[in-house]
Amino acid sequence: MAKPQNAFVCQSCGAVSRRWQGRCDACGAWNSIVEEAASGGVGAQPAQGARKGRVFDLAKLGETDRPAPARVLTGIAELDRVTGGGFVAGSAVLIGGEPGIGKSTLLIQACAALARRGERVVYISGEEAIDQVRLRAQRLGLSDAAVELAAETSVEDIVATLSRGARPALVVIDSIQTMWTSLIESTPGTVSQVRGAAQALIRFAKSSGAAAILVGHVTKDGQIAGPRVVEHMVDAVLSFEGENGRGLRLLRGVKNRFGPTDEIGVFEMTGRGLQEVANPSSLFLSARDQAAPGAAVFAGMEGSRPLLVEVQALVAPSPLGTPRRAVVGWDASRLAMIVAVLETHAGIKLSQYDIYLTVAGGLRISEPAADLAAAAALVSSLSTIPLPADAVYFGEISLSGAIRPVGHAGARLKEAAKLGFRSAALPGAGEREDAPRELELRRLKHISALAADIGAKRAPRSASASASRAPQSAREA
């Protein structure tokens, strides 16, 4: 019989090779290959002789007598929105985020909210001592919640403990990288350990009906560290993002077997933990310098919710042969396309200029509907004409220069009107959306009309003062 051989496993992608190498062939990562003891993994069947197959029953796809899976609602609306209406009983959710972003804070708050609703909730910390967790709960004013705590890292011990007593509604494992199982010989934190521990915990969730939340660290480039396979094993992957220096935090669905993935939850980190932000548009627009050229308000959509956000551009003469193009929060190739379309179809020459484009508030926009706002910000910065403070922009720009209609125009316009905006530049064609009456609509069919629109809409400073107060009052309301 062949002697079991150790495997060399890439810690970044999980690829297995027969010998050590400096660079992983599968994902290209350097210095990521670690020798691990060969093992069948948790739950692997011992090698047996040929086994006769067991006959099982096949179910009907359309079987309707089964109720929808039970949901565990936390009552934190921003969290419940992202999960698609609460954590599903018996499912596993992976929450990723950079260190210090607030994962532990969010989850202890969710645990406390559930415990106050009378559910059994268990929070297992593999990183912090019980006293540290207690101290944080005290700071958050959650000491009275009946959350059960443990500082443990052995998966077998955790599963054995959880299997005793009433079935918990929610189990939080903070974090999956610190967990280890004795069935696998490699050190905690390696791919096989993370995978094995996740497998055991997911199996426990499925068999017991508890919802398991696994916290995962992310690497510098934003990937959840450890094997990507954990992302495939769980039912939902949420990503907790935000700028570390600022209070704003976004919870985003990356994968969800039981709900949408385009929803975001918005939180603000305060001295008393994470507070929900029910009206994120006002927060994203709060620090706006309305008289500055190069800033356009984009009426965007995040999932089912409209979200207004500022797109800022700086166009500056370039001393370099190849001008700089830097983008934060948007797609760099999309910017290159907009620049080319402006040059070709609107006669706006940008090739001698450095261009910087930023989406304010740390938001990442992937909607093509932001094209028009980005173009408006660019033209405004180049011409040093500030855009009207009370105007929003949305529309997709095609390579021909045509401004194409986008979805949810009605919802975007309604949100703009709600926040006190008075005009909107939008695609010329498309659905006749029932726009709020107080909004002046400027329909642009082609990118060549944009420069004229910006020049024509220049508001004198005195007139813009009253307009700029309007969004502010909506925020206070």
User: Residue numbers of the site for ligand TYD (CB under 6 A)?
Assistant: 97, 99-105, 136, 139-140, 269, 271-273
**Residue 109 CB, nearest approach to ligand TYD (Å):** 9
* Among ligand TYD, Mg ion, none, partner that 269 touches (CB below 5 to 8 angstroms by kind): ligand TYD
Q: What are the residues facing 440 on neighbouring strands? A: 423
Tokens 């993935």 belong to which residue?
A: 261
Which residues, in sequence order, are CB contacts of 26 under 8 Å at separation 6+? 10, 13, 15
Number of residues that bind Mg ion (CB under 5 A): 1
**Residue 384 CB, nearest approach to Mg ion (Å):** 46
Inter-residue contact 10 to 24 (CB < 8 Å):
yes
**Residue 300 CB, nearest approach to ligand TYD (Å):** 26
Inter-residue contact 111 to 145 (CB < 8 Å):
yes
| CB closer to ligand TYD out of 267 and 421 | 267
H-helix or E-strand spanning residue 213: strand 211-217
* Among ligand TYD, Mg ion, none, partner that 102 touches (CB below 5 to 8 angstroms by kind): ligand TYD
Burial tier of 33 (Cβ tally within 10 Å: 0-12, 13-18, 19+): buried
| CB closer to ligand TYD out of 84 and 242 | 242
Build a one-symbol-per-residue string for 94-113: x at contacts with Mg ion by CB under 5 A, - elsewhere: ----------x---------
**Residue 259 CB, nearest approach to ligand TYD (Å):** 23
HSE-up (13 A, CA, CB side) for residue 473: 10
- Strand, helix or coil at 314? strand
End-to-end CA distance of the chain: 76
* Among Mg ion, ligand TYD, none, partner that 271 touches (CB below 5 to 8 angstroms by kind): ligand TYD
- According to the binding rule CB under 5 A, does residue 193 interact with Mg ion? no
| CB closer to Mg ion out of 91 and 104 | 104
- Strand, helix or coil at 94? strand
**Residue 127 CB, nearest approach to ligand TYD (Å):** 8
Strands 16-17 and 7-10: antiparallel
d(CA 470, CA 420): 5
**Residue 97 CB, nearest approach to Mg ion (Å):** 9
* Among Mg ion, ligand TYD, none, partner that 186 touches (CB below 5 to 8 angstroms by kind): none
Q: Which residues bind Mg ion (CB under 5 A)?
A: 104
